[in-house]
Structure 1
Amino acid sequence: MATQHSRSAARLMMAPAVVLLLGWMLVPLTMTLYFSFRKYLPLRGGDLGWVGFDNYVRFVSSSAFWPSVQATLVIVGGVLFITVVLGVLLAVLLNQPMWGQGIVRILVIAPFFVMPTVSALVWKNMFMDPVNGLLAHLWGLFGAEPLVWLTEASTQSIILIVSWQWLPFATLILLTAIQSLDSEQLEAAEMDGASPVKRFGFITLPHLSRAITVVVLIQTIFLLSIFAEIFVTTQGAFGTKTLTYLIFQRVLESQNIGLGSAGGVYAIILANIVAIFLMRMVGKNLDA
């Protein structure tokens, strides 16, 4: 049993890491809040003083604000739907004994280790190019006109690219959860005459509920800040300008640090609202 002295020593040894972590999080947040109340134009006069909530009003009243929030939620929702559904199916498939199972698992997980910028470039030039892309050639085999993906189906293209990147993560988490399932339950259900569909619906899927919750929560946190794929492919055009990309435009293209900082605060608020909503909807599975 840990004594009071050992617990005090453990806290003392953990203190530097905790202080460093708090500083790493709080310093950028404090600076963002500070600049959001000031008019700061680095190339046009520098710090021009305190403006109160003017930056917040200007940012939220911009014609691009609500479309960017909508685009963000659509992309996040689309990616979550694809990765969870296909992740469950792939996890069930990879859990079956097959020849070369280890190699197949490595190939399925490999896209997760590709940098987002590289992934977006590959999809843009090798798959979605309307002239030389692989998808254009496949369309041509059936006599159909090639689809200009990044203009005619821009949002769907972004969802497809990001889903390809995050599907391995979902598959890995769900595969680990399936492997922890007691095989005796499935064997007993099979002996009782339950079909594969019923075994999946009444045994496997409920067992995966906690893993699905973890996948949804973790992916949502990262997907709300999606940027690289949009910057490389559409640059925010054709309805793909997310809140993160809008902040980038305000900061770097308009050179308005105060306005961009106000957008960053809105992004933090949006992330917390989505996180609270998800925790209330699916977080209860963690306590099940």
Structure 2
Amino acid sequence: MATQHSRSAARLMMAPAVVLLLGWMLIPLSMTVFFSFKKFLPMRGDSMANGLDWVGFDNYARFISSSAFWPSVQATLVLVGGVLLVTIVLGVALAMLLDQPMWGQGVVRILVIAPFFVMPTVSALVWKNLFMDPVNGFFAHVWRSVGATPIEWLSQASLPSLVLIVSWQWLPFATLILLTAFQSLDQEQLEAAEMDGARWPQRFVFIVLPHLSRAITVVLLIQTIFLLSIFAEIFVTTQGSFGTKTLTYLIYQRVLESQNVGLGSAGGVYAIILANIVAIFLMRIVGKNLDA
């Protein structure tokens, strides 16, 4: 049993790491909030002469009154929701498949997990040029082979295309987490249910899914945190056109177009607020499974 002295020593040894972590998070956050109330134009040169002009909530009002703000929020939520749906559904299916004994099981698992280690920029370039190009892409050749007109994926189906690209990257993560949950499933419970006459859909709904609920919750929470800040895939493929301008990309555009760091910082605060709203919603809806 830990003594008071050992607990004090542990706190002392952990203190530098905790201070460094808090500084790593709080300093950029504080600077973002500070600049959001300023008119900071470093690329125009007038900020050096006039200083940081205090504008109050003017940056917040300008950002939220923009005609692109609410469409960007909608695009962000659609993109995140679409990727979560695809990765969880296909992740469960792949995890079930990989849990079965097969020849070369180790190699297959490595190949399934490999896309997670590909850089987002490289992944987006491969999908854009190798698969979705309307002239020389793989999908274009498939469409022509059946007598159909190739689809210009990144303009005619821009958001679904982005969902496909990002889902391909995050599917290995969901599969890995769900496969671990599958491997801890009590097979005797499934066998007993089968002996009692329960069909596979009944066993899946009443035994497998409840067992996977905690793993699905972990996938939802972790992926949502990262998906809310998607940028590279949009920059490489559509550059925010055709309804793919997310809140993160809108912030990037506002900083470049207006060259106003204060306006971009206000957008960053809105992005933080949106992320917290989504996180609280998820924790209330599915987070209770973590305590089950």
TM superposition score normalised by structure 2: 0.97
- In 1, the alpha carbon distance for the partners of 2:242 and 2:260 equals 24
Deviation of 1:254 after TM superposition, in Å, equals 2.5
Partner of 1:136: 140
- In 1, the alpha carbon distance for the partners of 2:258 and 2:183 equals 51
Q: Does 1:59 align with 2:59?
A: no
- The letter for the 2-side match of 1:36 is S
Partner of 1:169: 173
- Identity within the alignment, %: 83
- The letter for the 2-side match of 1:26 is L
- In 1, the alpha carbon distance for the partners of 2:195 and 2:239 equals 56
1:37-96 CA distances to partner (integer Å, 9 max, x unpaired)?
000011221244100000000000001100000000000000000001110111111101
Partner of 2:16: 16
Partner of 1:202: 206
Partner of 1:41: 41
Q: Does 1:190 align with 2:194?
A: yes
- In 1, the alpha carbon distance for the partners of 2:42 and 2:199 equals 67
* Residue 99 of structure 2, aligned match among 79, 95, 98: 95
Partner of 2:123: 119
- In 1, the alpha carbon distance for the partners of 2:17 and 2:220 equals 28
How many residue pairs end up in the alignment? 288
Q: Does 1:228 align with 2:232?
A: yes
- In 1, the alpha carbon distance for the partners of 2:76 and 2:95 equals 27
Deviation of 1:193 after TM superposition, in Å, equals 2.1
1:250-285 CA distances to partner (integer Å, 9 max, x unpaired)?
123331100000000000000000000111111111
- Bigger shift: 93-102 or 115-124? 93-102
SS in 2 for 1:41: coil
SS in 1 for 2:40: strand
Q: Does 1:239 align with 2:243?
A: yes
Partner of 2:182: 178
- In 1, the alpha carbon distance for the partners of 2:52 and 2:33 equals 16
- The letter for the 1-side match of 2:135 is V
- The letter for the 2-side match of 1:214 is V
SS in 2 for 1:208: helix
- In 1, the alpha carbon distance for the partners of 2:238 and 2:288 equals 38
- In 1, the alpha carbon distance for the partners of 2:125 and 2:65 equals 34
Deviation of 1:9 after TM superposition, in Å, equals 0.3
Residue segments in structure 1 that go unaligned for 5+ positions in a row: none
- In 1, the alpha carbon distance for the partners of 2:73 and 2:205 equals 35
Deviation of 1:287 after TM superposition, in Å, equals 1.3
TM superposition score normalised by structure 1: 0.99
* Residue 76 of structure 2, aligned match among 72, 75, 99: 72
SS in 2 for 1:15: helix
- In 1, the alpha carbon distance for the partners of 2:194 and 2:103 equals 24
- In 2, the alpha carbon distance for the partners of 1:188 and 1:213 equals 27
Deviation of 1:214 after TM superposition, in Å, equals 0.6
Partner of 1:264: 268
Deviation of 1:31 after TM superposition, in Å, equals 0.3
SS in 2 for 1:237: coil
Partner of 2:30: 30
Q: Does 1:149 align with 2:153?
A: yes
Deviation of 1:195 after TM superposition, in Å, equals 1.6
Give the 4+ runs in structure 1 shifted more than 6 A.
Answer: none
Q: CA RMSD in A?
A: 0.8
- Bigger shift: 257-266 or 193-202? 193-202
